[in-house]
Amino acid sequence: MNLTDGVSGMPDLILRSRGGETMSLSSQRGRVALVAFIGKSACHTGPCLEIADQLFLELGASHFTSFGCIVDLMPGEELREYLPFVIPVSWSPRRLVTDFLKLPVSGFTLPKFAVIDRQGDLRHLLEGPPGYDLWRMVTDFRQIIEPIIAEPSEGTKEIQV
């Protein structure tokens, strides 16, 4: 699955910030991204943002980025401020998220974590467990993300010895 701007029919995911600005996930090409899809007031919201935030802090911003995406705000409802997180927290409608992830709307559960590589390919879709150990999940996610960060980017060539 690749992030496109509609060229090949795959929808891009548009995230909306608290101030109303929009950002397309495809604008992050060239960096590995983790998107935490969460509910606005569920008990998993804070812990999932902590995981995404901690990964961003540990892996750095040069080749990795991390976002929180609240799914399904009600019409006219404002995205509240999520402090003290470093990562941006935005929102997107459920239909756009499920279309992006190629999942059915019915039975779509949260939380989910999407790991997207530099080329915009969805590499992993991870479920957040009901009970969690923050440091264990950060370690487990790092084991998934670090090899993707280590892959050569399109602009570099591997040298065969």
What CATH number should be reported for the domain holding residue 131? 3.40.30.10
In a domain, 50, yes or no: yes
Cα 121 → chain centroid? 12
Question: Helix axis angle, 134-150 relative to 45-59, nearest 10°?
Answer: 40
DSSP code of residue 121:
B
CB atoms near residue 95 (< 10 Å): 13
Question: What does the radius of gyration of the chain's CA atoms come to, in whole angstroms?
Answer: 16
pLDDT of residue 160: 41
Residue pointed to by tokens 């995205």 = 79
In a domain, 125, yes or no: yes
The phi, psi pair for 28, rounded to 5°, reads -95, 5
Residue 137 lies in a domain: yes
pLDDT value at residue 155? 57
User: Residue 23 — φ and ψ, nearest 5°?
Assistant: -140, 135
| In-domain check, residue 8 | no
Q: Which domain holds residue 42?
A: 14-150
Report the pLDDT value the prediction gives residue 73, as an integer from 0 to 100.
63
Task: Identify which of 78, 110, 87, 108 has the alpha carbon closest to the alpha carbon of residue 28.
Answer: 87
Structural domain count of the chain: 1
Is 111 domain-assigned?
Answer: yes
Please report where in the chains the tokens 């997107």 appear, as a residue.
92
pLDDT at 9: 43
Stretches in the chain below the pLDDT threshold 70: 1-11, 73-77, 79-80, 82-83, 129-131, 154-161
